Copies of this chain bind each other. A is one copy, B any other.
Amino acid sequence: MITVLAGGVGGAKLVDGLAETIGDEELRVIVNTADDEEFFGLHVSPDIDTIVYTLAGIADREKGWGIEGDTYRCLEMLERYGLETWFKIGDMDFATHIYRTLMLRRGMRLSEVTDTIAKRLGIRHRIMPMTDDRVRTVVVTESERLSFQEYFVEKRGEVRVKSVIYEGAEEAEPCREVIPSIMDSRAVVIAPSNPILSIGPILALRGVRQALRKTKAVRVGVTPIIGGRAVKGPADRLMRDLGIEPSAASVARLYSDILDLFIIDEVDASMAGEASKYVPRCIATNTLMQTRQDRARLATYILTAINEIRESHQKY
């Protein structure tokens, strides 16, 4: 069993690569839900949906969110009714939110709903929200407090951030299988997701960081920063706003207590030495996942590295 901690698009791509190459082994994906939000009265879980749609093979690859070939008739009509529609939801995508909202109102937990959706879409791996409780990322600027979606989608990340708060993280319980998955897996992979906005909320949950410190699993991180820039999203700008130099080495530092191996991109190969100050091993490869082949190649690279580390552990 391999467990992955993941946010949205970057996480989804790596999880997809792992699912392709892992064979019969079980994959468990612990997904950030601190970006969940209510739109039009419906509970939207953007990161879960991106991973579910990707594993189900129905994700829109161009856009990185939503369902391939989806249409926007419902959203256009909602706009006609005067609602704000900066958050784009397609007609098929709406079904997911309608279904989730209905089931939550009927008393199902988010983890159960996620499980049902994944199974119905033919996914054999386990996708679990980090928590069934409410945790919300709040992006604090000079003048306002923004939800993640307001910051990322509405403002396009074009505001200066003073701090980031994971509201509710202290009181929230991780989902029942989160800690056991970290403890019992042979490897835990931190996907190339935003370390502050996607992985940060998962690590902020009670017991998660400690479990990552204690587990016997091989712990591998993949950089979301290549050549000082985020592959997607606002991670670089956000890190700079928070006084962190946006580099692979900075990410290694953020994960210094919870990784055995950090994978940086080949363009940053010269940074391996610096990153090794924080993480025991640091290796460089092409981490950019533009095609499905890229995903599988990176996944194979990670699985091989995991096996090598396990073997070396067994030797000594």
Contact = CB atoms under 8 A, between A and B. Distances in A.
A98 B80 contact: no
Contacts of A75: 95
A41 B113 CA distance: 15
Contacts of A105: 41
A117 interface: yes
A120 B77 CA distance: 10
A80 B116 CA distance: 11
Nearest to A104: B41
Contact of A81 (B77, B83, B116): B116
Contacts of A81: 95-96, 99, 116-117, 120
Contacts of A73: 70-71, 90-92, 95
A101 interface: yes
Interface string A59-95: 0000000000011011111101111000000111011
A267 interface: no
A121 interface: yes
Contacts of A40: 98-99, 102
Give the number of times this chain occurs in the complex, counting copies: 2
The listed residue with most B CB atoms (<10 A of its CB), out of A41, A92, A105, is A41
A230 B99 CA distance: 37
The listed residue with most B CB atoms (<10 A of its CB), out of A76, A83, A91, is A91
B91 A78 contact: no
A97 to B, nearest CB: 9
Nearest to A38: B102
A101 B42 CA distance: 10
A42 B41 CA distance: 10
Given A41-B105, A105-B41, A98 B78 contact: yes
A92 B116 contact: no
A92 B77 contact: yes
A107 B189 CA distance: 46
A70 B71 CA distance: 11
B117 A92 contact: no
Interface in A124-138: none
Nearest to A72: B91
A99 B116 CA distance: 26
A77 B95 contact: yes
Contacts of A76: 92, 95
Given A77-B92, A105-B41, A99 B83 contact: yes
The listed residue with most B CB atoms (<10 A of its CB), out of A74, A83, A96, A105, is A74
Nearest to A117: B81
Nearest to A95: B77
A98 B99 CA distance: 13
A166 B40 CA distance: 31
22 contacts: A40-B102, A41-B105, A42-B98, A71-B91, A73-B91, A73-B92, A74-B74, A74-B94, A74-B95, A75-B95, A76-B95, A77-B95, A78-B98, A80-B120, A81-B96, A81-B99, A81-B116, A82-B120, A83-B99, A83-B102, A91-B91, A91-B94
